[in-house]
Amino acid sequence: MKTRILGSTGYELEVSPLGLGCMGMSFSYGPPKDEVEMVQLIRKAVELGVTFFDTAEVYGPFLNEELVGKALAPMRDRVVIATKFGFDLDPENGHDPARGLPGLNSKPEHIKRAVDGSLKRLNIDVIDLLYQHRVDPDVPIEDVAGTVKELIEAGKVRRFGLSEAGIDTIRRAHAVQPVTALQSEYSLWWRKPEEAVLPLLEELGIGLVPYSPLGKGFLTGKIDKTKAFDSSDFRSRLPRFTPEAMDVNQAMVDLLKGIADAKEATQAQIALAWLLAQKPWIAPIPGTTKLHRLEENLGALHIQLTTAELERINAAADDIQLVGNRYPEALEALTGR
């Protein structure tokens, strides 16, 4: 499998073009999945050429890091492990997911405790890529970047990343400790990063790691307005997943299907191929809990969209008015700071 380079300025990171987002194995998309099956899936991903694995302390909380650490222990030297800090979690007692997300905490001492906890749960000596999960408005980003810089110098972290940060925050952080990658939602379902974020990343030499590159499953064509989400699935609370919104937004899936049929591919593969074609420094992390979906997603690497096809997709997508915010107001307020 070919690789992609995230970042520059001496803090480059070489990863597979598609990574694996592991969140849904333990968090947000219903109850935690069977550990044995998920370990097998993660290890199969490595066999298939995936080298980039994404987790976070808040996924569970803590369960997902433990799962990823267990799964990747036998092949640690072959993979890149990314995790995140930034929520106010108690390392001993965690947090009850039924209460929603905890508050933010990126105070330097908390970051250091979080890193020590992640290292232990992942059973590794160093974190390859450490993201601030969400920007904490109560802590100057210079203090955050400086703390991560200290952790890099201490040998506990290799690279620094941000998640859903705004352009001013990215610039300020990058001036203290070079940022290797920004993780943000980006897909045909959510193209806002194209306005200001992508140009800035290109200017600074920062990679982009799109999460939810398949629109939280909607762009696969396997979900429609008749789908009923269990209360343990966070999509049950997202404005874009109301029956009314999905009915209108089906137009985007239909667009993908037209291209997919012509290419003898699936909607998911076309959505990922489109994303991969945007910039050579983009490495999406689609998540799945099923082997056949993992294999399907990786099939996108063999699809080459022509300039004409990309222009057709972009022009048609521009004419589609998607309905519904991607997050409830309180969660959306945590992004773009």
Give the model confidence (pLDDT) of 38-78 as tens digits: 999 999 999 999 999 999 999 999 999 999 999 999 999 99
pLDDT at position 217 over 70: yes
Domain for residue 182, yes or no?
yes
Domain for residue 77, yes or no?
yes
Which string of DSSP letters, residue by residue, matches 137-157? TTS-HHHHHHHHHHHHHTTSB
DSSP state letter for 301: G
Give the 3-state secondary structure of residue 50: coil
Domain for residue 299, yes or no?
yes
User: Which residue range forms the structural domain that includes residue 322?
Assistant: 4-332
**CATH label of the domain that carries residue 264:** 3.20.20.100
Domain for residue 337, yes or no?
no
Question: What does the alpha-carbon distance between residue 32 and residue 7 come to, in Å, rounded to a whole number?
Answer: 33
Number of domains forming the structure of the chain: 1
Q: Are 216 and 198 in contact (CB under 8 A)?
A: no
pLDDT at 100 (0 to 100): 64
The predicted model gives 328-335 an average pLDDT of 94
Domain for residue 125, yes or no?
yes
Pairing of strands 13-15, 160-163: unpaired
Domain for residue 28, yes or no?
yes
What global pTM score does this model have?
0.97
Q: Are 111 and 85 in contact (CB under 8 A)?
A: yes
Given the residues 59, 131, 186, 211, the one annotated as active site: 59
pLDDT at 95 (0 to 100): 64
pLDDT at position 92 over 80: no
Domain for residue 277, yes or no?
yes
pLDDT at 96 (0 to 100): 63
171: buried, middle or exposed (CB in 10 Å: 19+, 13-18, 0-12)? middle
Domain for residue 81, yes or no?
yes
Outline where 154-266 has alpha helix (H).
Answer: 167-176, 197-204, 243-263
Helices 63-72 and 108-122: angle between axes, nearest 10 degrees: 40
Q: Are 178 and 207 in contact (CB under 8 A)?
A: no
211 catalytic residue (yes or no): no
pLDDT at 1 (0 to 100): 86
